[in-house]
Each structure stands twice: as structure tokens, then as C-alpha cells.
Structure 1
Amino acid sequence: MEEFLLFLAVGFLAQIVDGSLGMAYGVISSTVLLSFGVPPATASASVHAAEVFTTAASAGSHAVNKNVDWRLFGPLALGGVAGGIAGAFLLTSIDGNIIKPWITAYLGFMGLMILWRAVRGVRPRKFPVKYTPPLGLVGGFFDAVGGGGWGPTVTTTMVGAGSEPRKSIGTTNAAEFFVTSAISATFLAALLTGHWETTDGLADHAMAIGGLILGGLLAAPLAGYVVRIAPVRVLTFAVGILVTLVAAYQTARLVGWL
């Protein structure tokens, strides 16, 4: 029960931040799971299983609040689905112990990128619609491999290119539902076909997954509202510092300093 309540709090806070920034639910959740010793593929599968539910609620909230740019939504979602499937297939094909250092480094990079976004701000440049499919492809791939790269990749690029933050965040969140669903289906297919033979006790983490789902669902309806009133720059700094510090902690464990 203690584990369930912990991950309920993690899921709630991560979804509040994700709803207001268009990023960080997957990064925060997967970072915490990795800190508990959960293997990379299992952590990514767990986070995406939870996100199937939370992203659906968040997408609905952003759509109701008219935060979605429907011109960008379709190509972004299609590219994300393709990249997510490729990334999930790769992650289930290799030993988790081999990729864990790379995942930790990736999460650290994401933390630094979020901090860079907070410091740099937004330049007044339009993001071309034709670049949304490749952006979605890269974002979906990173999301599957890292357990949380969709928002940091997609939202950061769109806002950094001058797109309206509210529309960038809402569109990214809405498309994320389809990306997450595709990645979760790939993990499930790999498990059922024997391609992913070592799940490293996926069922043992059911309480954590349940907590992430419930916490995210409780927070997700607030996403469309929070994106309009939250101090985005302060939250961006907070997320970047948190993810960077946790990644540094994981690195210290990997090299034997802790």
C-alpha cells in the first residue's frame, strides 16, 4: 500500500507538470522507477501502460479548452506512432543492463534540455507544418527508448521555434495518446510473441503502475486549465533540476559511487 501511495503522488505531480508544460510525466515516472531498480524496458512499458489512461484524459481536457492546433495534430501523431513502435521494438530486443547507462544519460540530457529551454525562452519563429512528421518520428522513438522523451523533444522544439506555448502543449499532449497507445501495443505484442522473453517481473510492479494511473487520472482533467495559469518558467526550472539530479544519482550508482 505504501508503494501504491508513493506512485499515486508521483503520478499526480508528474501529470500536473506535464499538463502545464507538455512534458515530464514519462521522464519523471521512468526516472523514479529506474531509481527503484526497475529494468529499462520494464520501466518504459510500465510508464506507457499508465500513460494510455492519463494521456486520454489530458487530451480531452486540452481539446475542450481549445488548446489543440488540429493542423499539426495529424502529421505529428502519425510520425510519433511510427517512431514509438520502432523504439519499443529496439528496447525489447536488447539486454536491459546494456542500455541502462544510455537511458540514464538520455534522461540527464533531457533534464539539461529542459533547463536550457527555461533559460533561453522563445524566439519568434514559426514552426513549419512539414517538419511535424519527422519531429514526431524522433519524439516517438526517444519516448519509447527513454520512457519519456515525447514532451521534452516535441514541445521544446515547437515552442522554441516560436509556436504559441498553449497550442504547442495542447497539441503535443493530444497526439501523445496515440503515440503511447502504439508503444504499449508494441510492448504487449513483443511479450505475447516471445520476442520479449525477460520481462523482469512486470507483474511485480502492478502496484506502482496502478498508482501512476490513478494519480495521473486525478490530475489530468486540470491540464487544460493549468496550462493557462501556471508559472511555466518556474515549473520548467523545477522539472529540469529534478530530472538532472535524479539522473546524476543514477549515474553515481552505475559507476559505484553509491
Structure 2
Amino acid sequence: MEIESIFISVFIISLLAEYMDATIGMGYGTTLTPVLLLIGFSPLQVVPAILLSQFLSGIFAAALHQGAGNVSFDFKNDTEHKIVKRLGRLGYIPKSTAAKVAMVLVMSSIAGVFIAVLIALRLPVFYLKLYIGLLVVTMGMLIIARHKTRNEFSWKKIMGLGILASFNKGISGGGYGPLIVSGQILSGVETKNSIGITALAEGATCFIGVITYFIVGTNVDWSLAPYLVAGSLISVPLSVYTVKRMPVKQFTLVIGVATTLLGLFSLYKLLRPLN
């Protein structure tokens, strides 16, 4: 009975964490991982299960955000684009801006993760986590300060954002969602679009992690996965409805406040043992 109660609690925590993540684009892994470890689960039970649930819920959330009109994905080849015309049959550029942004973020992740691995092997973990916490707080405060202004869209910012966010993910396993959402807003992407794009990009990133665990993870325990997946999938429709109903300016301010608080919480967790 005690074991059943624990797994019911895991289901409820996953539901609440995914509601937050699918609504503001951040907080699922950051919230869920330490809670599950405190309950007594091992990292090899927690991390693969979270990756699997984020992959499925991310793709599901992106599809529902598309259906609700929060974002517009069109991955058909844009045959009129100059790159496609130049490369002919080998050329591919998706039609909609949201699809282009998602593709750039996912492709940039390859470079970001590679750089992260090289640096992570040489720098102490404390300073890496300190850097991420300070970066997230800074971006959250920038959004709060500029939530009433319209940011000019920039592809250079989007590419840099994809590399930086995946760099953070590769170093510490976190810092992806807060940076991707806030960075898109500061790069000129409309707030609601940024949530749907983040869901798709993070889902694709987690898929790579899931495949890796399936291939090489001989000692992985997947017993948590059904409860995390069920909780996260059930919460997604309510999250999508919340995003659709929220006025854009207030929603942008909510994202800024949430990003800042999440960064401050990360710094608190990191610095608390030093006191």
C-alpha cells in the first residue's frame, strides 16, 4: 500500500510540474528531479523516465498548441526560399516562422552539446551551475523590464540561443526551458509562439536522450516512466487552454517573473550549503 501511495504521489507531482512546464515553458525537470531524488529514487530511475515523459508530453503539447492557435507550425518545404532554390532537391526550409525557429533550435543543440561536453570536463560543476543560475535570473529580469516593448526578431539571436541553451543542458541537465522561452521572447518571437516552439524543441531534444538510454542504458529502471508519462500527458490540455486564454502582455510578464524566480531558486539551492 505504501508503494502504491508513492507512485500515486509521483503521478500527481508529474501532473502539476507538467502543467507549469507546458504553460510557461519551464520547470518540469527542474522541479521534478530533486523531488523524486528526495523521495528516494535513484538517478537512473529518475532521469530516463523524465526524458521519456518530456519527449511525449512535449510533442503532445506542441500539437495541441498548434490546434489551439497558440503557434503555427508548417514543416512543408518552402520551395520559394532562396536556399531551397539554390540547392534544388537537396534543399529544405520549412514554411512557417515557428517551424523555422524550432528547426534552428534543434540543429543548434548539436553544436551546443558538443561544446558543453568539452568544457564540462574541465570546469568545476559549482561554477557551471552558478553561471546558469545567474544567466536565467538576468534574462528573467530583462523580460520584466521590457515586457511592454516589442523586440525586433533576429535569426542570429535564435541561433545563438539554441547553442547556449543546449550548452546549459549538456553541462548540467537543466537550464534549457527557461533560457529557450525567455531568449525567444527577447529575440522577437511572440510569447505564445515561444511556448509551443519550446515544447517541440525540448521534446525533440529529450527524444535523443531517450534513444541513447535505450541503446546503452542496460541498468536503467523504467518503473517510474508510466506514472510520469500519465501525469504529464493529462495536464497538457489544461495548460494549452490556459495559454490560449491569457492576454499576451500579462503572459509575457508572468514568464519574466517565473524565469527570475526559477533562476533565484537554482542559486539558492546551489549556495545554501555554503552558509
Instruction: Normalising by structure 2, report the TM-score.
Output: 0.69
Among 157, 161, 176, the residue aligned to 1:135: 161
The residue number in structure 1 matching 2:68 is: 65
**Is the 2:52–2:210 contact (alpha carbons within 8 Å) kept by the matching residues of 1?**
yes
The answer to whether residue 238 in structure 2 is matched with residue 222 in structure 1 is yes
Report the Cα offset of residue 63 of structure 1.
Answer: 1.3
Higher deviation after alignment, 225-234 or 110-119 = 110-119
Within-5 A mapping of 1:99-248 = 99=125, 101=126, 104-105=129-130, 108-109=133-134, 112-113=137-138, 115-117=140-142, 119-122=144-147, 123-191=149-217, 202-203=220-221, 206-207=223-224, 209-230=225-246, 232=251, 233-234=253-254, 237=257, 240-241=260-261, 244-245=264-265, 247-248=267-268
Distance 1:152 1:235, change over 3 A: closer
Distance 1:145 1:185, change over 3 A: farther
Distance 1:160 1:134, change over 3 A: closer
Higher deviation after alignment, 12-21 or 143-152 = 143-152
Report the Cα offset of residue 165 of structure 1.
Answer: 0.7
Structure 2 segments unaligned to the other structure (5+ residues)? 73-95
Equivalent residue letter for 1:151: G
Query: Alpha carbon RMSD of aligned pairs, Å?
Result: 3.8
Q: Equivalents in 2 of 1:126, 1:45: separation in Å?
A: 38
Higher deviation after alignment, 233-242 or 151-160 = 233-242
The answer to whether residue 18 in structure 2 is matched with residue 15 in structure 1 is yes
Instruction: Normalising by structure 1, report the TM-score.
Output: 0.72
Residue identity over aligned pairs, in percent, reads 20
Structure 1 SS opposite 2:227: helix
Equivalent residue letter for 2:173: G
Q: Equivalents in 2 of 1:166, 1:130: separation in Å?
A: 21
The residue number in structure 2 matching 1:77 is: 103
Report the Cα offset of residue 30 of structure 1.
Answer: 2.9
**Is the 1:89–1:186 contact (alpha carbons within 8 Å) kept by the matching residues of 2?**
no
Structure with higher Rg: it is 2
Report the Cα offset of residue 182 of structure 1.
Answer: 1.6
Q: Equivalents in 1 of 2:140, 2:244: separation in Å?
A: 21
Equivalent residue letter for 2:243: V
Q: Equivalents in 2 of 1:85, 1:10: separation in Å?
A: 33
Distance 1:8 1:87, change over 3 A: farther
Higher deviation after alignment, 71-80 or 6-15 = 71-80
